[in-house]
Amino acid sequence: MKKALAFRVIALLAVMTLSTTAVQGQDNKTGQTQDNKSVKTQENKTGWNFGPLPAISYNSDLGFQYGALCDIYWFGDGSTFPDYIHKFNVEVSRYTKGSGIYHLFYDSKYLIKNLRTTVDFSYLTDRMMDFYGYNGYAARYSTQRGESFYKYDRNLLRATVDVQGNISGNLGWVVGAGVYGYKTAPVKLEKYAGEPSLFQYYVDEGLISSSEKDGGTRLEVKLGVVYDTRDNEADPYRGFKGEAISLLSPGFGGEGYTKLYLSASGYIPIIDNKLTFAARGVYQGTVLGEQPFYMMQNITTLYFRQITSEGLGGLNTIRGVLRNRVVGAGVVLSNFELRYRFAHFKFLGQGWYLAVNPFFDAGRVVQYHKLKEMSQSMNPDIWSILNEKFHMSAGVGIKAVMNRNFVISAEWGKPFNSLDGNSGLNIGLNFIF
């Protein structure tokens, strides 16, 4: 098979049966979560708790992936449980043909009094990064093209810091900054030397300018407000979260731009705490200026639930659709899912339960990027003559949730349109919202 032979399902089953706490404080009392109608009584956790997961997969182009990822929690004396005092997420993994992931994430409401601090530092190398062009269906996609045609080589060094504080009640403010350093080039793997690529066609046509074709470094400054009534962050039973964030990137020798990000997520209990209807709507658009191509797929987030928050399509957005299939100057996204929780059990001193989440996702470009230039191209691989419309998918996921904080996830989605791919299976951590 040309594409990935996924072994992460095996890793998922292994961690569900072998996961243990490497260093754990003693349980100091018995308590219940805020919502106790249908949730089993569980012991409050103290001290350090670890949630390890192997990072194991195989891809014929990237080779074997080997490494590990882990969520690490500090609960202190347990008085804040199920909220943690400090959380770290670490992943170190590599592919045998050169790609790699080096990721450190930190989150705490207690590092600075009355402020929430979130920090991310990552170095990501991808020898076969997806590139399907601009503006969704307006960009032609063909299954007859070779494995490297819709790929390019990308290195990303990313550092972000966000700080949140309270205005009144559940309303808060956020300020932050992110530095993104990109290096981009056509695919460098020797087996594809001399083969054509959509990335190179875009460079040749000027759709990727000479100033951005090799990548660049961008600073984004965040300023916004957050409204949050969720009863829990990792797996909310009820509540609402809304975000309105502006992002300013000064030029520093290039063109600056300003973006606006709006999101709303709601969680409605249907059967006590066993069954929840969850929905999310997102808009992100360019207000002023023009983003370089390598920044357009970035979807704003204050909390990295996965290693990346990019594009529409793939792990975090329209599940099952090709990664970065839907890219433009402005996009909208919606997710709907049911979350049914069952099979509460204790294993190796930890409180677990399982959950299934059938879902429906949809998104599209609403603000086009260089659409006129695409339509004037004589290259049949660039312009499809199709109008953009919603890209949709549906599927189901299964979760194993430890201490209502650590979530192991497997999700399979299938797009409604074959121009968005065939299907996708993603194994990782966390609900996507």
Q: Is the pLDDT of residue 28 over 80?
A: no
Question: What is the DSSP track for 68-136?
Answer: EEEEEEE-TTSTTTTS-SEEEEEEEEEETTS-EEEEEEEEEEEEETTEEEEEEEEEEEEEEEE---SSG
Q: Is the pLDDT of residue 114 over 60?
A: yes
Q: Which of 83-97, 249-263, 319-333, 402-416 has the lowest mean pLDDT?
A: 249-263
Residue 170 has a CB neighbour count (10 Å cut-off) of: 15
Side-chain-side CA neighbours of 28 within 13 Å: the count stands at 12
Q: Which of 14-28, 292-306, 381-395 has the lowest mean pLDDT?
A: 14-28
Query: ∠ CA 53-315-108 to the nearest 5 degrees?
Result: 60
d(CA 308, CA 315): 9
314 pLDDT tier (thresholds 50, 70, 90): confident
Mean pLDDT value of segment 47-59: 82
Domain 8-429 grouped into CATH 3.40.50.2000: no
Percent of the chain with pLDDT over 90: 74
- The string of pLDDT tens digits covering residues 167-221 is 999 999 999 999 999 999 999 998 999 899 999 999 999 999 999 999 999 999 9
Residues 6+ apart with CB under 8 A from 128: 59, 61, 62, 99, 147, 148, 151, 153, 187, 189
Mean pLDDT value of segment 356-365: 98
pTM: 0.87
d(CA 394, CA 414): 6
Domain ranges for the chain, please list them.
8-429
Q: Is the pLDDT of residue 26 over 60?
A: no
Amino acid identity, residue 358? P
Tell me if residue 205 falls in helix, strand or coil.
helix
Tell me if residue 319 falls in helix, strand or coil.
coil
**Most confident of the following: 91-105, 311-325, 332-346:** 332-346
Q: What Cα–Cα distance (Å) separates residue 109 from each residue in 85, 106, 115, 118?
A: 7, 11, 6, 9
d(CA 223, CA 235): 26
Residue 167 has a CB neighbour count (10 Å cut-off) of: 11
Amino acid identity, residue 314? G
Tell me if residue 323 falls in helix, strand or coil.
coil
Q: What is the dihedral of CA 403, 307, 319, 17, to 10 degrees?
A: -40
State the chain's mean pLDDT as an integer: 89
